[in-house]
Amino acid sequence: MTKFKEILKKNIYSRDDIIYLISQSEHEQLLFEKAYEVKKKYVGTNVYFRGLIELSNICTRNCFYCGIRKGNKNIDRFQLSKEDIVEKAIWAYEAGYGSAVLQGGERSDPEFINFIENVLKLITHKTNGKAGITLSLGEQTEETYTRWLNAGAHRYLLRIESSNPDIYHNIHPDTDKFSSRIAALKLIQKCGYQTGTGVMIGLPQQTYADLADDILFFKENDIDMIGMGPFIPHHDTPMANAFDNFDQMAEEQLKLALRVIAVTRIIMKDINIASSTALQALDSKGRERGLLAGANIIMPNVTDTQYRKGYQLYDGKPGLDENCNSSRINLEKSIHNTGEKIGYNMLGDSPHFFERIKNK
Ligand code: SAH
């Protein structure tokens, strides 16, 4: 106990301190409380919503963990129309969400790049440039990132999945290079986006030291936004049986993710951190627990119910039978129960982004 408290009190954590804090579950409540204090001081207790639009499950990649990987023949592929995407983005804007997140499988063919560019221009036009737009569409060229930025997107999420190249290569086909992932993340930052990344927590062979290095990677790379969550096996992927008894370890997996979120908040202070849907997949109150451990962003799904089943990255995805209205109502209730407020009609930008730009 004393060692845990001694470390918590420090102003600067060493790598060993971080490893210790994320490895100890016994006193984790103290860690969550400290993270909550830091969050309150640096970003406040408003929770900002980002309306998640899962625009397509068509993917050219074969990531070993992901349910919408190209090699999964057991799902029907869909692609929302331009009108549907724009309508959902406007719904999110009018509902007072800080941004719409356009996420989907990875494609980089000219048709897709044009399609996204046109969607962005339409959303920007219809909302007089006032809607926040975040993209989560994988690795692209500098030209594509720039075109999408100029068309109206201003935030981009690209998880590095793990900062340990060996783990990265273990969970991806040979064609996917860790160095390309990092290069893409740097391009996003260079182009001028508010830049988000993250990792999966609790991957096979991932150690506490790896997770500490993930947090140090976020710090060294001056990241503005973090989205990270527990790894959850999907039955139709090569990693379906990564663990013998995943159901029995689900709560531990969730708590490990919460500790990593908490330490990230304490170290990074003024960034935005998402309380990911994967937390909710492991516990119906998982996202609220994330808020109490230092997260300040939630991404309510605004995709139409009929498409939600087709976009399952992992097993146990929650909210499959909800629609955008019921998702919103359920969330409002449970967030109010945590004592936090929802920052409606505010962009909820990462304060860190403006600090980073100012110091350049
Ligand atoms: N194609 C986009 C969006 C990917 S989906 C891209 O490459 O950025 C968003 C995130 O879901 C991924 O980055 C990954 O971290 C997460 N994810 C995928 N499969 C998962 C699983 N089985 N368990 C937990 N998270 C998973």
* pLDDT greater than 80 at residue 64: yes
Q: Is the CB of 188 under 6 A from ligand 1?
A: no
Model pLDDT, residue 57: 98
* Confidence band of 89 (pLDDT split at 50, 70, 90): very high
Instruction: Please tell me the predicted confidence (pLDDT) of residue 359.
Output: 78
Render the burial of 247-285: b for 16+ CB within 10 Å, e for the rest.
eeebeebbbbbbbbbbbbbbbbbbbbbbbbbbbbbbbee
pLDDT for residue 356: 87
Pocket test for ligand 1, best of 136, 249, 301 (most atoms within 8 A of CB): 136
Nearest alpha carbon to residue 135 among 109, 84, 101 = 101
Looking up tokens 């569409």 gives 137
Q: How confident is the model at residue 330 (pLDDT cuts 50, 70, 90)?
A: confident
Question: pLDDT for 261-312, tens place per residue?
Answer: 999 999 999 999 999 999 999 999 999 999 999 999 999 999 999 999 999 9
- Residue 282's pLDDT is what? 97
Q: Which amino acid is at 225?
A: M
Domains and CATH numbers, the chain: 36-358 (3.20.20.70)
pLDDT of residue 283: 96
* Over residues 110-130, mean pLDDT: 97
What is the rounded CA–CA span in Å between residue 241 and residue 233? Answer: 7
Candidate from 135, 206, 253, 313 with most ligand 1 atoms within 8 A of CB, to mutate: 313
| Ligand 1 atom nearest residue 65's Cα | 22
Residue of 357, 358, 327 whose CA lies nearest to 154? 357
**Does ligand 1 lie within 6 Å of residue 100's CB atom?**
no
Judged against a pLDDT cut of 90, whether residue 327 lies above it is answered with: no
Q: Give the distance (Å) from ligand 1 centre to CA of residue 66.
A: 6
Is the Cβ–Cβ distance between 155 and 99 less than 8 Å?
yes
Encode pLDDT of 45-61 as tens digits.
999 999 999 999 999 99
pLDDT at position 302: 94
Task: Pick the atom of ligand 1 nearest to 157's CA.
Answer: 8
Ligand 1 within 6 A of CB of 242: no
pLDDT at residue 257, as a whole number: 98
pLDDT tens digits along 17-48:
999 999 999 999 999 999 999 999 999 999 99
Mean pLDDT, the chain, integer: 96
> Are 347 and 99 in contact, with CB atoms under 8 Å apart?
yes
The pLDDT > 90 percentage for the chain reads 93
Q: What is the predicted pLDDT for the residue at 150?
A: 98
Each residue's pLDDT tens digit, 90-113: 999 999 999 999 999 999 999 999
For every residue of the chain, which 3-state class applies, written as one string? Answer: CHHHHHHHHCCCCCHHHHHHHHHCCCCHHHHHHHHHHHHHHHCCCEEEEEEEEEEECCCCCCCCCCCCCCCCCCCCCCECCHHHHHHHHHHHHHCCCCEEEEEECCCCCHHHHHHHHHHHHHHHHHCCCCCCEEEECCCCCHHHHHHHHHCCCCEEECCCECCCHHHHHHCCCCCCCHHHHHHHHHHHHHHCCEEEECEEECCCCCCHHHHHHHHHHHHHCCCCEEEEEECCCCCCCCCCCCCCCHHHHHHHHHHHHHHHHHHHHHHHCCCEEEECHHHHHHCCCHHHHHHHCCCCEECCECCCHHHHCCCCCCCCCCCCCCCHHHHHHHHHHHHHHHCCEECCCCCCCCHHHHHHHHCC
Place of tokens 């799904």: 301
For residue 246 and ligand 1, the question of a CB distance below 6 A is answered with no
pLDDT category at 3 given cuts 50, 70, 90 is: very high
CB 289 within 8 A of CB 279: yes
Report whether residue 185 contacts ligand 1, using a CB cutoff of 6 Å: no
Q: Quick check: 334 pLDDT over 90? A: no
Among 200, 236, 301, say which to mutate for ligand 1: greatest number of ligand atoms within 8 Å of CB. 200
